[in-house]
Structure 1
Amino acid sequence: MEFNPQSSLTPEHVSPDHIYLSSLPRRSDPLFRPVGGHFKRLIDIFIAVTALVALAPLMIGVALIIWLGSNGPILYGHQRVGFGGRTFRCWKFRSMVVDGDVVLERYLRANPDAQREWERDRKLRRDPRVTPIGAVIRMLSIDELPQLFNILAGEMSVVGPRPVVAAELRRYRGSAGHYLRTRPGLTGMWQVSGRSDLSYRQRVLLDRYYVMRWTVMADIAIILRTIPAVLRSRGSC
């Protein structure tokens, strides 16, 4: 959903994130095009279709394991910010308990150190919401495979910045404009450069560097480096 200042939302229903997103450059600006243009988009479609066909047995198997192993939906969708500030539902295999928000809130209240870690990094090394099955598929990044459908829909790219929520984009400050110049990626420099072992500032700088120095060869190199990075499972989140 893209925020429209003239929508039926009343002032009490307009969140700070809506106000923030409404101030960002609009996708309708003819001079505002995603990095890589049509050529990068064609590569995205080709890779996404090929990967969905090749990985269909794995994805079906994971879906069955989640369905049989825990109560709740197989997929989980969360609102993220995409190209030009337009929000979209980013899909993953569900790796957490259904009432994850409640579990997280209780855990953070009872653990001040975890609260500080969450405020600093927006992630936890020991996340109480993650199911046993979820821990495995997250370690191998299998939980992110449904994002191939986001790529086909034009909401994401194979390579790009890590998809973030509006509250996180605020922390990008001067780098927010760089993030908004391209579609978020299924993989990216953050994935092959340490993943969650990186500080938040390092991840932001990598996103900025990627956008400023984008080339087709850079995308190919990142894709090739993603496979060994995942197999090493270094810094999985």
Structure 2
Amino acid sequence: MEDVSNVAIRPNRQAAPASAKVYGSGHSLYSRHFKRILDGGLSLAVLPVVLPIIIVLAALIFMADRRNPFFSHRRVGRNGKIFGCLKLRTMVANAETMLPRLLDGCPAKQEEWAESQKLTDDPRVTKLGAVLRKTSLDELPQLLNVLRGDMSLVGPRPIVPDELRRYGGDAATYLRLRPGVTGMWQTTGRNDVSYAERVRMDVEYEQNVQLRTDIRIMAMTALAMLKKTGR
């Protein structure tokens, strides 16, 4: 299978080459048809509640620096399609240009970034952004990705093109599914699990895509968010 990292610079929603496409696993009637219906139905049902929250948070982010409160990052979707994964911006506006300076001359930070694409106590994260990340509220705009068909409510964590090679022989597993707003990775440690363990969870989920599994993961995610916001 051809690496899809070579399509990262293409416009959002442009498909990868045909050789990168891997069509549905076909494990169950639910995974083939009803999962997408559930995604659309639940997203539309909660949108009237979630949209005002997104608007308020976006306004707070905009008032801080008068910059675009939303962030779109290219991620790999089902069948290798590259799409813009939406989030509320949690970093300073020039975060991308700051990164090389943060990593320069610091092997520990370079290793951490190479492993997880994140930095502990990242100085680029704003105070409001830290709260949004802790409560996962920065990911609310991804409901629009779900309605658009880029993502599912439950699925693998959306990855950047360069990460796909880290799945090794299990890359096809990732490509058979739509990335999820939440998933097994989020309810079992999130950043505390190794990359290999995250891949294992994605493989396990793909082999057992069922309605009860998705409902359980969504319920666990809601409880986790309530605990964080209640602190």
TM-score, normalized by length of structure 1? 0.85
**Structure 1: how far apart are the matches of 2:71 and 2:47?**
18
Alignment equivalent of 1:142, drawn from 134, 137, 143 = 137
Contact 1:74–1:94 under 8 Å retained in 2 = yes
Counterpart in the other structure of 2:175: 180
Note if 1:39 corresponds to 2:46.
Answer: no
**Aligned AA for 2:111?**
R
After TM superposition, which residue ranges in structure 1, 4 or more long, deviate above 6 angstroms? 31-35
Contact 2:73–2:84 under 8 Å retained in 1 = yes
Note if 1:205 corresponds to 2:203.
Answer: no
Counterpart in the other structure of 2:89: 94
**Structure 2: how far apart are the matches of 1:17 and 1:88?**
13
Counterpart in the other structure of 1:18: 6
Counterpart in the other structure of 1:8: none
**Aligned AA for 1:120?**
E
**Structure 1: how far apart are the matches of 2:204 and 2:117?**
21
Percentage of matched positions with identical amino acids: 41
**Aligned AA for 2:44?**
V
**Structure 2: how far apart are the matches of 1:22 and 1:180?**
13
Alignment equivalent of 1:166, drawn from 161, 168, 183 = 161
**Aligned AA for 2:215?**
I
Gaps of 5+ in 1: 1-14
Note if 1:131 corresponds to 2:119.
Answer: no
**Structure 2: how far apart are the matches of 1:213 and 1:51?**
26
Q: Deviations over 1:121-140 (max 9, x none)?
A: 22222222211111111110
Counterpart in the other structure of 1:7: none
Contact 1:34–1:182 under 8 Å retained in 2 = no
Note if 1:114 corresponds to 2:109.
Answer: yes
Q: Deviations over 1:114-167 (max 9, x none)?
A: 111111222222222211111111110000000000000001000000000110
The range that moved more, 105-114 or 74-83, is 105-114
TM-score, normalized by length of structure 2? 0.87
Contact 2:27–2:207 under 8 Å retained in 1 = no
Contact 2:7–2:82 under 8 Å retained in 1 = no
Residue-pair matches, total: 218
SS in 1 for 2:104: helix
The offset of 1:230, in angstroms, is 2.7
**Aligned AA for 1:18?**
N
**Structure 2: how far apart are the matches of 1:106 and 1:211?**
39
